Amino acid sequence: MLVAALALPALAPSASAAHDPLARQLSAPVAHEHVFRLPGRPTHLALHWLGARPADVRLALGRHGRLHRVALDEQAPAHARETYGALMLARGARVIRVVTDRPLRRLTVLALTDRGRRAAPVAREAASSQPAVLRRADWGADESLRYDSTGKEVWPAAYYPVQKLIVHHTDTQNNDPDPAATIRSIYYYHAVTQGWGDIGYNFLIDQAGRVYEGRHTIDYAPGVSPTEEDSRGYGVTAAHASGYNSGTVGIALLGTLSTQDATPAARAALEKLLAWEADRHGIDPQGSSRYVNPVNGTQATFPNIAGHRDVNATECPGDAFYATLPAIRTDVAAMLATGSTQSPPAAKTTAATNITRTSATLNGTVNPNGRPTTYRFEYGRTSAYGSSTPTASAGSGTTATPVSASISGLARKTTYHFRVVAIDAQGAGHPGADATFRTGR
């Protein structure tokens, strides 16, 4: 059967266009089973099909790979004529096999090749009690995706007082080797494929506890943590919970949390962000109150810190994580009561010394900011790291503390990336800048 290969329209270049995923689409009718040959070497995939939302669509990476059911993108509206599957990693596949339990007049494979291939820059220390947040520019958002071919912004920002905080999972790969690349792909999928004009979340958090800016508000200067608010403190409307987007903040944890919980680092970062938002907007983290949609007047009562399933018919944010929300609300309330939402400890990577063929000594600086702080070094052959040293104490003073750690068992003639990560009393990690060294012969 002939498969149509479609190149999506070219978009105007921007300063971050080098990080825009290269997108290709393959479309075909599928009566029961079809094999698609993927163009190039895509890093991410998503399937979407015309109508037939109840269809059981399964995908295998490779002709003879194991079939897995395609999860639905839980951010897409259920009434759409098109059904959108969740984004997934391509894992180097050149061919995929698709099986459906009912005929589909048109099924489309979106193949995204992320050309940035870099991890996000590390979060900087916040200037106030707000958690450090990576700007869109830091994770490589191509701002031209927000505009149509005439230069008009597809989805202009609207702002309303924040009433509720709603938590999600992205239903993507756990243990993601490149979270920033996945966020760029989610952004493209939401903004271009689904036609929203932007990413649907206000904030995203990866498994290492890094917080990313989602929906565009303004172009923040380097070193400034985005707030997702205007000058009045009103929150920007995103697209994370149909019917409940205006006046709420949508925070998404990267990964799938149906059978496994969030990592300690992700949970700590989430709680800190929730505490900051709750404190800023006078929200009782353990309460339930009436929400009034400021656009259409719809009213509903649900928890102030809610899961996506509390407002829409969805499994999001996953059974395993959703069961922990009562404890998260308690933790956030305790953080507000003790005032522990102050600025995170600063961490600075300085140098690698005493480098041999297979070992090195890593140096850095940690400022505990008056609270008990530990640290670790993360290192690896890429800026995704992958290995870390044991945690050690940096004390609880208020002055910069030099720290170091020795590592061994390295490959010869190899460039390594490393950074020091300060860990606060709540278990959240606050990394310093990336540095490199090269082992000897």
The CA angle 105-110-116, to the nearest 5 degrees, is 175
The pLDDT of 323-335, averaged and rounded, is: 90
Going by pLDDT thresholds of 50, 70 and 90, the confidence category of residue 29 is very high
209-218 per-position pLDDT tens digit: 999 999 999 9
Please tell me the predicted confidence (pLDDT) of residue 308: 97
Q: Which of 111-115, 166-170, 428-432 has the highest mean pLDDT?
A: 166-170
Separation of alpha carbons 275 and 281, rounded Å: 10
φ, ψ for residue 179, nearest 5 deg: -60, -40
- 8 A C-beta contact, residue 67 and residue 99: yes
Q: Which residue has the higher pLDDT, 339 or 226?
A: 226
> Could you tell me which residues are beta bridge partners of residue 100?
57
The pLDDT of 200-206, averaged and rounded, is: 97
Please tell me the predicted confidence (pLDDT) of residue 302: 97
Going by pLDDT thresholds of 50, 70 and 90, the confidence category of residue 10 is very low
Least confident range of 106-120, 242-256, 410-424: 106-120
Going by pLDDT thresholds of 50, 70 and 90, the confidence category of residue 3 is very low
Structural domains present in the chain: 22-113 (2.60.120.10), 136-338 (3.40.80.10), 346-438 (2.60.40.10)
The pLDDT of 357-365, averaged and rounded, is: 93
What CA–CA distances, in Å, run from 76 to 42, 143, 381?
23, 21, 37
What CA–CA distances, in Å, run from 8 to 193, 197, 324, 391, 392?
9, 15, 41, 47, 50
82-131 per-position pLDDT tens digit: 889 888 888 878 999 999 999 999 999 998 888 664 544 444 433 336 88
Please tell me the predicted confidence (pLDDT) of residue 52: 67
Q: How many C-beta neighbours within 10 Å does residue 313 have?
A: 9
Mean of per-residue pLDDT scores for the chain = 86
**pLDDT of 428 over the 90 cut:** no
Name every residue whose Cβ is closer than 8 Å to that of residue 30 and which is 6 or more positions away in sequence: 49, 98, 100, 103, 104, 107
**pLDDT of 337 over the 70 cut:** yes
Task: Give pTM, 2 decimals.
Answer: 0.69
Going by pLDDT thresholds of 50, 70 and 90, the confidence category of residue 16 is very low
Going by pLDDT thresholds of 50, 70 and 90, the confidence category of residue 341 is low
Please tell me the predicted confidence (pLDDT) of residue 340: 59
Please tell me the predicted confidence (pLDDT) of residue 73: 85
58-73 per-position pLDDT tens digit: 999 988 888 989 988 8
Helix axes 264-281, 325-338, angle to 10 degrees: 60
In the chain, pLDDT over 70 holds for what percent of residues?
A: 89
**pLDDT of 238 over the 70 cut:** yes
Going by pLDDT thresholds of 50, 70 and 90, the confidence category of residue 21 is low
Q: Which residue has the higher pLDDT, 399 or 313?
A: 313
Going by pLDDT thresholds of 50, 70 and 90, the confidence category of residue 198 is very high
Please tell me the predicted confidence (pLDDT) of residue 79: 58
The CA angle 381-383-389, to the nearest 5 degrees, is 70
Q: Which residue has the higher pLDDT, 369 or 348?
A: 348
Please tell me the predicted confidence (pLDDT) of residue 93: 87
Q: Which residue has the higher pLDDT, 367 or 151?
A: 151
